Amino acid sequence: MEDQIVITGIGIVSPIGTGTEAFLESLKTGKSGVDRIKRFDPSIFGSKKAGEINDFSIADHIPASNARKMDRLTRYSTAAAVMAVKDSGIDMAKTDSGRIGVIFGTAFGNSASLEKFISEINANGPQLANPFIFPSLSMNISAGTIAKELSLNGVNYTLSSEVTSGGMAIFYAVQLLKNKKADYIICGGADELSLLVFGGVHAKGELAYEDQTVSEDSRPFDQYRNGYICAEGACLLLLERLEDAKKRGANIYAKISGISTGSFGNGTSAEEVIRRSAGQALQESGLSSSDIDFICSSANSSRICDKLEIDSLRSAMGTDAKDIPVSALKSMTGETFGASYPLNICAAMLCIRDRFIFPTINYTSPDPLCRLNLTTKYAEDAIINNSLICSFSLDSHTRWGNCVSILIGKV
């Protein structure tokens, strides 16, 4: 019998709150984390808003002196990891450090440090390149720093695949736990808002903007959605095998009952690949589509992707799909890239635990092409046993992408 993998710890740094309590409060009240950008002057861009984190202090999570060399993204990630471990209740002193791993996902890495490193070279010349910033240019600096902060000698990988980065990290962590390559894995992901990232995605024409009809906002599934809101965050989960969690009397949020991934090289095969991945996750779980009580949607207010997600899931789940309640977290947080997948899982787990469905905010004009049972405006009471989370990246220019589907359920 294959091992069952469960989630026993949560660490959140997000535009709608740092820490599970603040995040949960925002979910229940439908709070928006989106506002005009404060970190840099957005005036040269057509889009001016982002999901920024402005209430975060690393000293709330680790001794401030440990954070001297950490840049912003590394601080977000380290704080999230520390919170996840604390939440899990693992006694680190009694655990073999070689059996605790970190699988981290990030789309763009530490882009603010990269920006600073290049700016200094441009200003001062290459011979004065800054050796104190250079280490933060490695995409694995967050995962390595988490290991250092928590003294973890186990497996340590950093994966990158745009918005599915955090989902791929969870996918691979599950493989490693099943192969017994580690006993505990801290996994998930993070990304930060920087001028470089914002400018890059803006140039690709993917961001929401204000027009004659609507304000610049994240409005998944709305008829007038015109792009996503660039955001930042870190979210890490603690994964372990069910029997270990039971043995140590852990508080279990949910089990991962099915997980599947696939990739596509052009827009036309995307729907087929996503449908298969969702179908496989369902098959692995041994459930039927009528057992799924909630789709915690990854829709980010993209014209194409919101509809593609619903169409793919509908074809994977057959006639049951139209009745399953759906809600989109990114209506509140914006697109947090590496953090987005694990944040979706956290939202779904909290809905399972506290028996509610959070609302999709900013939804005012239903899109006749996206017909679904969407929870809007206010949170609703609901008993959820199984929730499906399916996320995919689809590059707006190359049409390259991949997808991950995860089914979580009550233990």
Partner 1 sequence: MPNRSKRVVVTGMGVLSSIGNSIDEYALNLKNGVSGVAPVTLFDTNGLRVHIACEIKDLPAVNFPYSYRALDMIHISAVQAVKDSKICFKDEDPYRIGSVFGLSQGSIESLKVIFRKIITEKDISGLKPEQLVANTAYGPAKAIASYYDLKGPSLTVSTACSSSLNSVMIASDLIGNGLSEICFTGGAEDLFDIAYYGFHSLRGLAEKKCQPFDKNRSGLLLGEGAGILILEELEHALKRKAMIYAEILGYGNSSDAYHETSPDPSGRGAALAMKAALEDAHLRTDAVEYINAHGTGTQQNDEMETKAIKGAFGENAYEIPVSSTKSMTGHALGAAGIIEIIACILAMRGSFIPPTINYETPDPACDLDYVPNRSRPKTFDISMSNNFAFAGNNSSIIIKKWKTK
Residue 148 in contact with residue 46, Cβ under 8 Å?
no
Q: Which is nearer to partner 1, 205 or 318 (CB)?
A: 205
**Which pairs count as long-range contacts for 375-379, CB under 8 Å and 24+ apart, including other chains?**
375/325, 375/326, 375/327, 377/30, 378/30, 379/27, 379/28, 379/29, 379/30
Site for partner 1 in 223-262 (CB under 8 A): 261-262
CB of 178 to partner 1, least distance (A): 7
Distances in Å between the alpha carbon of 50 and those of 34, 38, 205, 209, 222?
5, 9, 15, 11, 19
Site for partner 1 in 278-317 (CB under 8 A): none
CA dihedral of residues 315, 389, 189, 87 (deg, nearest 10): -170
Q: Which is nearer to partner 1, 115 or 354 (CB)?
A: 115
Gap between the Cα atoms of 46 and 210, Å rounded: 8
CB of 190 to partner 1, least distance (A): 14
Residue 363 binds to partner 1 (criterion: CB under 8 A): no
Taking Cα atoms as reference points, which of 296, 273, 265 lies closest to residue 395? 265
Residue 268 binds to partner 1 (criterion: CB under 8 A): no
CB of 142 to partner 1, least distance (A): 8
Q: Which is nearer to partner 1, 64 or 128 (CB)?
A: 128
Taking Cα atoms as reference points, which of 285, 111, 82 lies closest to residue 188? 82
> Among 156, 298, 375, 391, which residue sits at the site for partner 1 (rule: CB under 8 A)?
156
Q: Which is nearer to partner 1, 335 or 367 (CB)?
A: 335
CB of 365 to partner 1, least distance (A): 28
Q: Is the dihedral of CA 334, 340, 344, 349 positive or negative?
A: negative
CB of 169 to partner 1, least distance (A): 9
Site for partner 1 in 370-399 (CB under 8 A): 395-399
Site for partner 1 in 171-230 (CB under 8 A): 171-172, 175-176, 178-180, 195-196, 199-200, 202-205
Question: What are the residues facing 240 on neighbouring strands?
Answer: 6, 184
Angle between helices 20-29 and 340-354 (to 10 degrees): 70
The distance between the two most distant Cα atoms of the chain, rounded to a whole number of Å, is 64
Q: Which is nearer to partner 1, 121 or 382 (CB)?
A: 121
Site for partner 1 in 80-99 (CB under 8 A): 97-98
> Among 80, 85, 168, 329, which residue sits at the site for partner 1 (rule: CB under 8 A)?
168
Site for partner 1 in 94-153 (CB under 8 A): 97-98, 101-102, 107-109, 114-115, 117-119, 121-122, 125-131, 134-141, 143-145, 147-148, 150-153
Q: Where are the beta strands (DSSP E) in 288-342?
A: 294-297, 325-328
Site for partner 1 in 47-86 (CB under 8 A): 69
Q: Which is nearer to partner 1, 129 or 383 (CB)?
A: 129
